[in-house]
Amino acid sequence: MIVVGGGIGGLGAAFSLTRQGLAVRLLESAPAFGEVGAGIQLAPNCTRILDDYGLLQEAKSLGVVPDAMIMRDAVDGDELTRLDLRDLERRYGFPYLVIHRSDLHGLLLRACGRAGVELINDAQVTSYENTAVGARVTLASGRTHEAGVVIAADGLHSVARRLLVDDRPVSSAYVAYRGTVPADRERVKSVDLGEVVVYIGPGCHFVHYGLRGGEMLNQVAVFESPKALAGREDWGTPDELDAAFADTCDFVRDGLPFMWRDKWWRMFDRDPIMNWVHGRIALLGDSAHPPLQYIAQGAIMAIEDGWVLGEHVARHRAADGTPDWDAALAAYESVRPEHCRRVVTTSRAWGELWHLDGVPREQRNALLRARATADYSFVDWLYGPTALTPDQEPPMFEPIPLSSAIPRTAAQGTAA
């Protein structure tokens, strides 16, 4: 079989399917394998799969298992709520882990190499088509590859997705800056590297956590671009970064000089689709469900996709042991699109919640302050075992209306 795309999703799928005894050829368009960016957060629904793959201990040795996740107000720096990540590990059975993207990518690449995946670079796929016995891809070079099935993990700008829907990426008008700071810098000495902290503010937020066993601090600054809202092409520039965080607390502003200012990431997603399979061609990862980053599930969903597909290949085999691809792909498509639809839409809603201003900001803060630390109702649907069938998909959490909150200022006024 063929997997198109050598990112985290493609490598995870290739490894998962090789575990089922399949010969997998992975086609990557770049001349060398690699991953850009900095930190990535892996919740228990991902570390559970890494454990099943026999890769969790290596991942833990490369990353940091933090003690707490803390949400603060970006304007005044006050703590709003927190998750005890050690208690969370006891609840779900697996840890919350933060790791450098390149370290996770390298871990999966090495696992694929050990498993015998055929890894091919400089293989840019320009078209997909079904055949009488499977599917075919054509490369920019004109060369073709054929297999019984093709898994398209070809990212946000997926070519394969066009077989199923005529749509385009959706701009959120938000942009992310990233940067890492060595642990010996004064900036880091004042920070607990065992915490994942997010400062949420009007039209912006700022995240930090430790990486590589505490060797560095990872920082992410995200903001809404006025230039993007105005329809300009040159949006997300460093001057907008500084302006967006001008009214935030000292700690957040002091982190901005450490951001990489020569590159930034514009934040796009796509509207959810419920059909991922076209004959013997199936979407996986961002080609099917690119989310905004607010609940840190993008790479995790891709890893889950590959694990679920592998499990269904194991469960749907013909009498001679060969995969019943029609049944396996149907089972995959019956469960993953709905879960990922929930993640994509919740990520959008969470981004709106984080970036409120005025009275809605005060209402949000009041709700977060009132939350019990041991309340996991808003993550149970995410962090529990990955569903293999629709009946295993847990119910969604029930959002609490902002209107039900009494802002601190209003409460103080009533008391007076």
Other Cβ atoms within 10 Å of 199 Cβ, number: 27
| Closest of 398, 288, 276, 286 to residue 349, by C-alpha | 398
The CA distance from 315 to 3, in Å, is 20
Q: Determine phi and psi for 2, rounding to 5 degrees.
A: -120, 135
> Measured between alpha carbons, how far is 212 from 302 in angstroms, rounded to an integer?
23
The span from the CA of 165 to the CA of 162, in Å, is: 5
Residues 6 or more apart in contact with residue 391 via CB below 8 angstroms: none
Would you mind telling me the total number of residues written for the chain in this entry? Answer: 416
305 and 287 Cβ atoms separated by less than 8 Å: no
Burial class (CB in 10 A: 0-12, 13-18, 19+), 87: middle
Pairwise CA distance, residues 187 & 194, whole Å? 15
Structural contact between residues 24 and 3, judged by C-beta atoms closer than 8 angstroms = yes
**For the stretch 368-400, what's the b/e string if a residue is b when 16 or more beta carbons lie within 10 angstroms of its beta carbon?**
beebeeeebebbebbbbebbbeeeebeeeeeee
Q: Are 202 and 323 in contact (CB under 8 A)?
A: no
Residue 80, SS3 per DSSP? strand
A 10 A CB-CB count for 212 gives 18
| Dist CA 236 CA 223 (whole Å) | 8
209 is catalytic: yes
Catalytic residue among 209, 294, 376, 383: 209
Q: Indicate the residue type of 240.
A: E
Q: Which amino acid is at 282?
A: A
Q: 């779900």: which residue's tokens?
A: 92
Q: What H or E segment, with its residue span, contains residue 265?
A: strand 265-269
Q: Which residues are catalytic?
A: 209
